Amino acid sequence: MHPNPRRVLPVVVVIGIVGALLWGWWSQQAAAADGALHGSGTIEATEVIIAPEIMGRVLEVSVRPGDSVEEGQTLIAFDPTLLEAQRKQAEATLSAAEAMHEAAQAGLAATEANHALLEAGPSEEQRAVAESTVARAQAAADAARAAYDALPEAVRQSAQAQPLSQ
């Protein structure tokens, strides 16, 4: 007895489809297990134009055009002399600015202290000493004015008291 081809054909097709699916799944599992992917195609490299963040004299170039490079790899070494001079100049500028800042703070503190003294005003003792000094100065000025005013009279009297000799 021969099986009916109409009954066998669908079974063969189903077995073929299941086999193809199992083969595809098994291929992916095997590729994932060894870490390799297999395929065909074209891969194009990405070219990147680079420029340094600093300028200076180049001491060494570590790569050539077309070389593969990794992130973080040193490509160019610069002469540090100019950069060191710039760093020292920046440090000197910073020190000068800090000194100016400290001087400004000292000036502000002195101004605030003077302001506090002005706000407080003179003490009673300072006021009494100042008033006494002003009174003595006024008395001395009055005495000097009186002496000055009396001078012409003294000159006139001295001229009358002495006869001219011949």
Give 88-136 pLDDT, tens digit per residue: 999 999 999 999 999 999 999 999 998 888 888 888 888 899 999 999 9
Q: Which residues of the chain have pLDDT under 50?
A: none
Of how many residues is the chain composed? 166
> Residue 140 and residue 146: Cα distance in Å, rounded?
10
Give me the pLDDT at residue 36, please: 65
Give me the pLDDT at residue 8, please: 80
Give me the pLDDT at residue 163, please: 57
Q: pTM of this prediction?
A: 0.38
SS (H, E, C) 16-85: HHHHHHHHHHHHHHHHHHHCCCCCCCCCCCCCCCCCCCCCCCEEEECCCCCCCCCCCCCCEEECHHHHHH
Give me the pLDDT at residue 119, please: 84
